Amino acid sequence: MMRWFAAELDADNRRMIYAPAGFAHGFQTLEPDAELFYQRAASFRPELQRGVRWHDPTLAVAWPPAGRRVISARDQALPFLAAAADLGAIDGEIDRIALAAFDVFAECREQVYQLRIEEVKRRVAWVVGKMNQGGEDPEA
């Protein structure tokens, strides 16, 4: 079973997406002035690039509406999933990688949540300490 995930990333929500090596990913900018930043674990090697067509019916990605789409010549030439036999063991492997990526995402999210809880506890302890020392309540 193929699955896809989408998220809106912008400067205000400061979200990021982690796509592990070999993980299919794509993007659509919603503003004309968008910037995209890739952080890679290894040097870029164009000869290792693989992909599938952005509007592949097997994937059935619900892309946001767009008045005009600009698709690179490279992306227009990508095969549909059904014809992409050279991409390797697709069925089970993609599901395995996707589930692992979701696990990593969930783990990272939980770590950030725990860090935020620890920061709040630290700040509350600091305020209580100041109040116990006869300091003024910063909220007063």
pLDDT digits (tens, 9 = 90+) for 66-95: 888 888 898 999 888 877 655 554 555 566
| pTM (two decimals) | 0.53
Longest Cα–Cα distance of the chain, Å, equals 74
Q: Is 52 exposed, middle or buried (0-12, 13-18, 19+ CB in 10 A)?
A: buried
Q: What pLDDT does 70 receive?
A: 87
**pLDDT digits 0-9 by tens, 24-57:** 888 888 888 888 888 877 788 887 777 888 998 8
Distances (CA, A) of 79 to 53, 93, 125, 139: 6, 18, 58, 61
